Structure 1
Amino acid sequence: MDTENPELDELSAWLVDELHDVALGDKRLNRRLLTTGAQLAARPSGSINQACADWADTKAAYRLFANAKTTAEKIRAPHYRRTRERARGHQRLFAIQDTTYLNYTHHPATKGLGPIGTAPQKLSGLVMHTALLMSEEGLPLGLASQAIWARPPKRPRRGSEARRKLPLEAKESAKWLQALQQTRAVVPPEAQLITIGDRESDLFALFEQARTLETELLVRAAQNRSVCAPEVGRLWAVMGRQKVCGQLQVLVPARQGKPGRQALVTVRFAPVRLKAPRHLRKTMGDISLYAVLVQEEAPPPDSTPLCWLLLTTVPVHNFAEAVERIRWYGLRWQIEVYHKVLKSGCCVEKAQLAHVERLLPYLALLSIIAWRLFWMTLLARHAPEAPCTLVLAAHEWRALYAFHHRTQQVPARPPTVGQVVLWIAQLGGFLARKNDGPPGVTVLWRGWQRLSDIAAAWLAFHPS
C-alpha cells in the first residue's frame, strides 16, 4: 500500500493492491497512476474530465498519459503478476483469445490511428488482441496477454498466394502465437493450460507452437484441411462420416437482434492427423489432433443451424469427454462479454486523447478496470457466500449497507459477496424480481458509479 498517501489506499484498495509494484521509473508518476486509476475506476463510464476531482487532477491525468515513461507494457506488468498469483492452485486454466476493434472514426483529431473494417466503410481505430485467463469454473482471473496496435494507413494489395507465402511474423495472424507464448509465461507451470480460439485461430503454425510449448489448444476449425491415413480425405467429409455418439442441448447466445435459444445437436468425434499445408511442409510435420463435430439437425425456422467443428490437442475418447470439450468452447463467449464491459461499461471508444501513444496506456489501465467489473459480476455467481471484503473496502460495504437499509447502524460482520453485488446492481436499476436471473454487468457498472459517490460521502461523515 501507499504509506505516503493513506487516503488513496482508502479510496481504491483493490487498485492499489493490483498495481502496487508498478514501475514507471518515477515514484511520483507511480502515485499519479494509482490516483488516476482510482478516479477512473470509480466512474468507469465517464471521461477523464468527469472522473477527475478538479482541473488540477484532470491536467495531471493528461500529463500522465502523455509521459513517455507511462507505457501500456509497464501498466499491464503488475496486473500479469497478480493474474499469476490468482492462478496458483488451479489444476486447469483456460486462456481465451479474441480480437476486437476500437472505433475512433468520430475522433479525427487523434493522430496515429489505422484503418479498421472494410475499405468502403472508411473507419479508423485500433486493433486489440487479448488473452483472458479463466478458471475451470468460469471465473476470470485476469489478463494473460494483450496487444493493441494501429494498422499501417496503406497496406499493399497481395493475392491469396502471395499472402500465403509471407513469413508468419509479417502477418497479423502472428498475434495468436505471440499471445500463446506470453500466456504460457504468466501461467504457473504446474497448471494445465488450454488456449481457446474462434475460427480465426485455425492456424497450422499455432498447433505447431502449442506442441513446442507443451501446452493445449481448443479451436474452432475454419480450414477444410487434408486428413492423413488411416482415414484419408478432407476434414469436414471425414467427420461427417463418423458415427453419432450422442445428443446434447447447447445454448446459442443472443446475436444481431435474435434472442438466445437452446439447440439440440448431434455429436461426433474422432482422432485425426492433419497434413501440413504445402508451403509449410519443409519446416513443419503433420499434426495429430482430436476433432469434435457439433451439428444442429433441425433448427427452428429462420434460424441458422449451429455447427461447430472443434479441433483440440486434448484427447477425446468417449461422448462424455466430447461434451466436456464442447463445454470448454462455450467459455469463449465470456471474452466477448469482457469486450462489452470495456466498450459499453468503460466507454473506451469515447476517449479523446491527441495521439495513439497516449491512448495505449489509457486503454491498458481501463482494460484492468474492465476485468475487475467483470470478475466481480461472476464472483457473485460462483462464490455468493464468500465475504464481501473480497470485492469491497470496509468503507464501501458499510456505506452500501447503510444506504440500502436506510440506517446508520452497520453490522460488525461483513455481508456476503452475493448480497453486496445484488445491492450494487439495484443501484444500477436491477429490479431483483422473483423470476429475474442474476444481475449482469450492465447494471453493475451503473451501480458501481453510484456506490463510489455514496462511499465518498460515507468517508466524509465517518473519517475514522
Structure 2
Amino acid sequence: MISTDEYEWSQQLFGGSDLGDTRRTERLVDVAARMASQMGQSLAKSCGGDQAALLGGYRLMRNEAVEPEAIRDGGFESVAQQAQAQSLLLAVEDSTSISYTHAVATELGLTSNNQDAKRNGFLAHSVLLLDAVSEHTIGLIGQQHWCRDRADYGKKHRRKQRAYEDKESYKWEQASVQMAKRLGSAMQRTISVCDRESDVYEYLLYKCGHDQRFVVRAQVDRRILHNDCKLFEALACDASALCCYTVQIPQRGGRKAREAKLLLRSATVELLAPAGRTVAQGSLSVNVVLAEELDAPAQSEPLQWVLLTTEAVSSAEEARQVVRYYELRWRIEDYHKAWKSGVGVERQRFQTVENLERMLVITAFLAVRLLQLREHLDAPTDAPETTCETVLSEDEWKVLWVSTEHNQPLPKIAPAARWAFYAIAKLGGFTDTKRTGRPGWDTVWHGWFRLRERLDGYQLSKSALTEL
C-alpha cells in the first residue's frame, strides 16, 4: 500500500539512488517529497519559502555530476524490488510527447509532424508495472526519452533504408531489454501489454525468441502460413467463437462512456515475415483473440480488437482474461495525463536541457504517485460497510467532514469509505455536471491536496494550542 506520507514515500523510492554522494541522495529525497506535497507546483513554490531547501534543490538540478539516468535508475530499482513479491505482472506501455515553449525549447526536437509548430520538446516511452491480480499500480519500471533530429524532418521516405535499431519503433524492444535486466527472474511472470503501434514484426520476433510474454493489439493485416487469406479475414472466417459478455468502455476524448457487448473468438496462427524484410525467415506462432462489439450504438464506432498474445486462449475464461489485460493498458494513458495535467511536467521552466531532464525524471515518478493515491482512495468504494479509516487517519476524515459537510455534527463513528472518496472529489470541485456518477482524475487530485493543506493547518493549530 502506498504511504500517504510524502517523505516516507520519497525515501522508499529514491533513498537507494547512487548519485555519487549521499548528500545528493538526501537532497533528491527532500526535493521529491516537497514536490509530492505540493503536486503540480514549481520547485520554488514547493519549498514554501524555505530558502535553504530551495537553494539546495536548485544546486541538485544544476549539478552536472548528477546524471538524470542515475535518478531514474534509483527509482526503477525500487520498483523492481517491490515487484518481486507479485505472482503476475503487467507491463503496460505507450509513448507521449512532452512539449515546451520557453527559451530552452529551441534546443529540443519536434514533437509533431509540423516543422513550423511552435512547441518543441521530448518524446517519451513509458512502461508502467501493474499487479495483474489486484490491478494496482506498482510503479514505473522503464522510461526512455529522446529528441527528434530536425534534420530528419520531411525524410519519411528514407525510413525503409534505416536499420531497425535506428528507428523509433525499436523503442518497444529496447524497453523489454531494459526491463528484463531490472526484473531478473520476475520477467518470466511479466506480460507486456501494448497498443497497435507495437505491431512490429521485429519486436514480436524478439519477444517470442526470448520467451517473453505479451498482449499486442494487431495493426498489420499480416500473411499467415498455409492460408491464402491474411490475418483479419482468416480470423473472421475460421476463429472459434467462445462467448459473449459485457465490458465498460470509459469516456475518452469525444467518445462517451458506455457498455459494450463483445463476442470473443480465438485462434492460433503462424505469422509470416513481411516480404522483402531482412529478418529471420520462417514464421511466428501466436495465439489471437478477436473481440468484436455487437449491436453498437448507431453513432458509435464498433469496438474491434485483434489481440496477438503468448497467453493461452482456448477457453472463454482465458480469452476474457487476455481482453482484460488489454483493457488495463488504458492505465498508461492515465499515467501520461497525470504527468502532464496533474504534475505539470510541461510547466517546468528550467533554462538548460540537462536541468530540465533532471526535473523531467523526478516528475515522472511523481505522476505515478498520483495514480496510486487515486487507487488508494477509490479501492474500497465497492464495500459500503468499510469505514474511511481504511484509507484516512482520524484527523484526515474529521477535517474532510468539516470541510464538506457544512453545519453537520461530526459523527462519533467514522463514515464509510465511499463517502470519503466522493467527499474528497467534492472538495476538488466535483459536481457531476456530465451525469457520469464518477469523479474525474483532476477533481480527486485537487481534493486530496486541498485536504492535505487543511490538515496541515489543523495540525499546526493543535500544536500551537498545546504549547500555550
Q: Which shows bigger deviation, 271-280 or 449-458? A: 449-458
Q: Give the match for residue 41 of structure 1.
A: 36
1:155 positional shift = 0.6
Are 1:182 and 2:178 an aligned pair? yes
In the TM superposition, 1:292-371 aligns within 5 A as 292-371=289-368
- Find the aligned partners of 1:173 and 1:418 in 2 and give their Cα distance: 43
Aligned-residue RMSD, C-alpha: 3.2
Answering whether residue 103 of structure 2 is matched by residue 103 of structure 1, we say: no
Residue 17 (structure 1) shift:
2.2
Distance 1:297 1:275 in 2: 30
The SS at the match of 1:12 is helix
Q: Does 1:115 align with 2:122?
A: no
Distance 1:218 1:296 in 2: 19
Aligned match of 1:163: 159
Letter in 1 for 2:152: R
Is 1:23 the equivalent of 2:18?
A: yes
Shift of the alpha carbon at 1:116?
1.1
**Residues 96, 124 of structure 2: 8 Å contact kept:** yes
Aligned residue pairs, count: 446
Change (3 A) 1:347 1:391: farther
Shift of 1:167: 1.4
Distance 1:417 1:180, change over 3 A: farther
- Does the C-alpha gap of structure 1 residues 253 and 414 become closer, same or farther in structure 2, counting only changes over 3 Å? closer
TM-score calculated relative to the size of structure 1: 0.86
1:278 CA drift (Å): 3.1
Q: CA deviation at 1:462?
A: 5.2
Between 22-31 and 352-361, report the one with greater CA deviation. Answer: 22-31
Shift of 1:346: 0.9
Q: Structure 1 residue 158: deviation in Å?
A: 4.1
Match of 1:444 in 2: 444
Structure 1 match to 2:77? 81
Letter in structure 2 aligned against 1:456: D
SS at match of 2:150: coil
State the Cα distance separating 1:26 from its structure 2 match.
2.2
**Aligned-residue offset at 1:223:** 0.9
Structure 1, unmatched stretches of 5+, are 1-8
Residue number among 232, 249, 254 corresponding to 1:252 in the alignment: 249
Distance 1:388 1:73, change over 3 A: farther
Deviations 1:316-362 (A, max 9, x none): 11232222211111111111111111111111111111122111111
Q: Is the contact between residue 273 and residue 279 of structure 2 (CA under 8 Å) also seen in structure 1? A: no
| Residues 52-98 of structure 1: CA deviation (Å, up to 9, x unaligned) | 22273434333321211333222222322221232233221100010
Q: Which amino acid aligns with 1:51?
A: S
Shift of 1:133: 0.4
Q: Is the 8 A contact 2:266 2:319 kept in 1?
A: yes
Task: Tell me the CA shift for residue 108 of structure 1.
Answer: 3.9
Residues 115 and 290 of structure 1, relative CA distance in 2, 3 Å threshold:
same
1:121/1:387 CA distance change after superposition, 3 Å: farther
Q: Does the Cα contact within 8 Å between 1:112 and 1:150 map onto a contact in 2?
A: no
Identity %: 29
User: Greater CA deviation, 215-224 or 248-257?
Assistant: 248-257
Determine the C-alpha separation between the residues in 2 that align with 1:278 and 1:25.
50
Aligned position for 1:207: 204
For 2:106 and 2:290, how far apart are their aligned partners in 1?
A: 46
One-letter identity of the residue aligned with 1:338: Y
Cα separation, partners in 2 of 1:26 and 1:286, compared to 1, 3 Å = same
Aligned residue for 1:12? Answer: 7
- For 2:311, the aligned partner's letter is V
Conserved? CA contact 1:246–1:319, under 8 Å: yes
Structure of higher RCO (CA pairs closer than 8 Å, 6+ residues apart): 1
One-letter code of the match for 1:179?
Answer: A
Q: Which moved more, 1:287-296 or 1:42-51?
A: 42-51
Aligned to 2:407: none
Structure 2 unaligned runs (5+)? 404-409
